[in-house]
Amino acid sequence: MTPTPFHPFVIRLRKHADSPFRILLAVAMLVCGSVAAALATEVSARHPVSIVEAEIFVNRRQATVRLKCFAEDLELLQGVEPREDGKYDSDEIRAATQDHAQYLAEKIRFLDVNGETIPATVTGVVDAELPSGGADAGTLMRYTLEVELELKYPAPPEFITIQQDMVAEGQLLPSELKVLLKQAGSQSPYTRMLKPGSPETFRFDWDRPALSPEESKEEWDSWFEQQREQTLGISSYSSVYSFIYINDHEVRNEVLVPLANLAAMIEFERADPSFLSIEEQSAAAKQIRRFFSFGNPVQIDGIEVAPVFDRVDFYGLDLKDFAVQADKRKVSMASGRVGIIMRYPAKGRPLKVDVAWDKFNEEALRSVDAVAFPYKEVAQVRFSMFLENNVYSWQATDAPELPSVTEVDLADDRYHVRPVTVGVPVIATACFLLALCASGVSLFRPFSPLLTGAAALLCVAGFLTARTAEVQVQSPLERPGSLAITNRTASTIFLQLHRNLFRSFDYSDESRIYDTLDRSVAGPLLRKLYLQINDSLRIAAQGGAVSRIEDVQVLEGRQQVGTFIENGFQYRCKWNIVGTIEHWGHIHERTNQYDALFEIKVINGAWKIVKMDVLDQPQGVVKTRLRTL
């Protein structure tokens, strides 16, 4: 037996057939239910909500809009009423249709990339085909009317935002705009359902429009990948995005949210309802900070941490790279977006992180598309008001500590060098001196075969012992403090010191960086070098954020000769620093090249860099790439 809504009462009726009162009660309830169902059917047939269908064709210079709606909208939105005889006046319906065409042209707004309205002109109206004697009251839902609009623009648009504000006074349910939009050259239309206050932005690629549905999966994958690269992975203009980063010293949550969504939850004061001016953005940023200061709790190792706001920036549609510091300008309430960067400092390497999202809104924020980046990992996360659990949890695995930076010790055989000395053979020198004395005596006395023979024997002995019994003494041709060092040894010493410099910046806190730098650098150069390297890692276009050193590539280097350095040497080196900084799910990689002259000395038994002069620093190259799963 097929159940009915009143099936339980039928069962009771059978069970208590002996009770007249209960039988009458059950029959009464069945009758009431049937009447209620009939009334509900009658009410639903009238459809108390205004639904407008829009077919939009966009080409490079203009857009054509065909609107189709029920004639009942003339009653809901234009105030048309039936006459005393229960029929609508046909002339009044036609006049109201013309008014309604202008109403639709005003209430359905098309905005350009800057949020300015693209004027729409009514180019055609098709009246509802009513009976010759007029339509009966309550029957306008059976008839439709059509309006055609035309929009023109000076250049092919990359973006068009559609916003509808059709609101009937006293209606409980909002009007709906069903959009079917097609771009010239594309066989795949876009479909959206728009309610008042919920704008939708469409992006157009005129070089490569959307493909035909008949194209292969490979072709579509290639097209989607190209679109993803062009938009840096953020392709929806009405969605809320969250990018969660976890590293040794912080958890960072970067939230990108449409301004229209925030306006549904935060009341922003503004002179122009359509825009938020530069002056108004400062006050709005404070409200946004207060809004996100509470809720969305983040726990690091079981302790809830309050957010530190790095940035609250306002963006227009034309900005694709949200890591770039945007120029200040007014933004559209319909198509603007807000970038919020919140940091949650960690006292050390996190072992457990929990990031929750509880800020939902029935109309403006039902779900959040999130991606988590714990170190080198990637995880997709979905927060939704329809889910019971809206917490992203991460547990650390065993990871090696950062390698220590050790001094380049002079006692290490690899780095040990001697002062510049000469070897003096003691026996040979004595023999030559005695031979010289014997020869000198023979000059002042008559020829003596004995002295001459002795001198000759001493010279022979000197030659025979020239390579034995040497004593090292400071070279009289070199200054005190000169070191005998080959280019190979100098390169070994320098490259280790050079490597230590940049490994120091693997640490996060300044004191740790200073401690490690001190093992390779001496004197006033320590602070100067810290500032120079730190400055080289800053990307000004991204608000001065410091990038992470990924690689140091030594291109060439050689010891410099001809310049005296006491207890040390000069070395010239050319190298690249490859640094990366990541925001909003994509990575900026910057390569800086340097050419510098270094002085390296022995200080307290260890090799240290004591001087660095940058000879050349070409402009760095920045590349952008997306994070992939």
Return all residues near 87 (Cβ < 8 A) that are at least 6 apart: 133, 134, 135, 136, 137
Nearest to 305 by CA among 360, 352, 340, 257: 352
User: CA-to-CA distance for 58 and 46, rounded, in angstroms?
Assistant: 34
Give me the pLDDT at residue 63, please: 96
Round to the nearest angstrom and report the end-to-end CA distance of the chain: 52
3-class secondary structure, 311? strand
More confident residue, 438 or 128: 128
Topology at the third CATH level for domain 484-626: Nuclear Transport Factor 2; Chain: A, (3.10.450)
Average pLDDT, the chain: 80
C-alpha 109, offset from chain centre: 31
Percent pLDDT > 70 in the chain is: 74
Please give the residue that has the higher pLDDT: either 448 or 131.
131
Higher-confidence residue of 11 and 538: namely: 538
Q: Of 107-121, 163-177, 239-253, which has the strongest mean pLDDT?
A: 107-121
pLDDT at 400: 55
Mean pLDDT for 549-560 is: 88
Residue closest to 147 by CA, chosen among 161, 162, 164, 127: 127
**Percentage with pLDDT > 90 across the chain:** 36
C-alpha pair distances (Å), 62 with each of 178, 187, 334, 500? 21, 18, 21, 61
* Banded model confidence at residue 17, pLDDT cuts 50, 70, 90: very low
Which string of DSSP letters, residue by residue, matches 522-568? Answer: -TTHHHHHHHHHHHHTEEGGGTTEEPEEEEEEEEEEEEE-SS--TTE
Residues 6+ apart with CB under 8 A from 215: none
pLDDT at residue 168, rounded to an integer: 67
Residue recorded with tokens 């500032």 = 531
Nearest Cα neighbor of 538 from 348, 377, 340, 325 is 325
* DSSP reduced 3-state for 454: helix
Instruction: Return the pLDDT at 291.
Output: 96
* pLDDT of res. 432: 64
Give me the sign of the Cα torsion angle 355, 358, 364, 366: positive
Most confident of 15-24, 311-320, 512-521, 614-623: 311-320
- Please tell me the predicted confidence (pLDDT) of residue 451: 62
Model confidence band, residue 458 (pLDDT cutoffs 50, 70, 90): low
Per-residue pLDDT reduced to its tens digit, 257-269? 999 999 999 999 9
Q: Record the tokens describing residue 194, joined without a space.
A: 């728009």
Average pLDDT over residues 480-501: 79
Q: Are 372 and 379 in contact (CB under 8 A)?
A: yes
Q: How far apart are CA 425 and CA 472, in angstroms?
A: 9
Q: What is the pLDDT of residue 456?
A: 72
Residue 499: the pLDDT is 86
- Enumerate the β-bridge partners of residue 470: 425
Q: Are 234 and 201 in contact (CB under 8 A)?
A: no
Give the pLDDT score at 446: 61
Residue 489, classed as helix, strand or coil, is helix
- Check whether 8 has a pLDDT greater than 50: no
Distance (Å, whole) CA 315 – CA 603 = 53
Given a cut of 60, is residue 298 above it in pLDDT? yes
Across 204-211, average pLDDT: 88
Name the more confident of 201 and 48: 201
Reported as a single tens digit per residue, the pLDDT across 385-425 is 999 999 999 998 866 566 667 777 665 555 556 554 455 56
**Per-residue pLDDT, 42:** 39
Q: Is the predicted pLDDT of residue 204 greater than 60, yes or no? A: yes
Q: Over 587-621, what HEC string results?
A: EEEEEEEEEEEEEEEEECCEEEEEEEEEEECCCCE
What is the distance between the alpha carbons of residues 460 and 165, in angstroms, rounded to a whole number? 116
pLDDT on residue 618: 81
Name the pLDDT band for 308 (thresholds 50, 70, 90). very high
d(CA 458, CA 435): 5
Beta strands in 294-406 (DSSP E): 298-300, 303-304, 308-315, 331-332, 337-345, 352-356, 367-374, 379-384, 391-395
**Residue 510 pLDDT exceeds 80:** no
The pLDDT of residue 274? 93
Candidate from 16-30, 247-261, 566-580 with smallest mean pLDDT = 16-30
- Rg (alpha carbons) of the chain, rounded to whole number: 42
Which pLDDT score, from 0 to 100, does residue 428 have?
Answer: 64
pLDDT at 326 over 60: yes
Residue 414 is predicted with a pLDDT of 57
The structure's pTM equals: 0.73
Evaluate if residue 363 carries a pLDDT over 60. yes
Mean pLDDT of 336-356: 91
Q: What is the pLDDT of residue 30?
A: 43
| pLDDT computed for residue 10 by the predictor | 33
- pLDDT higher than threshold 60 for residue 25: no
Report domain extents, the chain: 7-46, 51-215, 241-395, 421-474, 484-626
Model pLDDT for residues 76-88, shown as the tens digit of each residue: 888 888 888 888 8
Please give the pLDDT value at position 364: 86
Mean pLDDT for the stretch of residues 31-48: 41
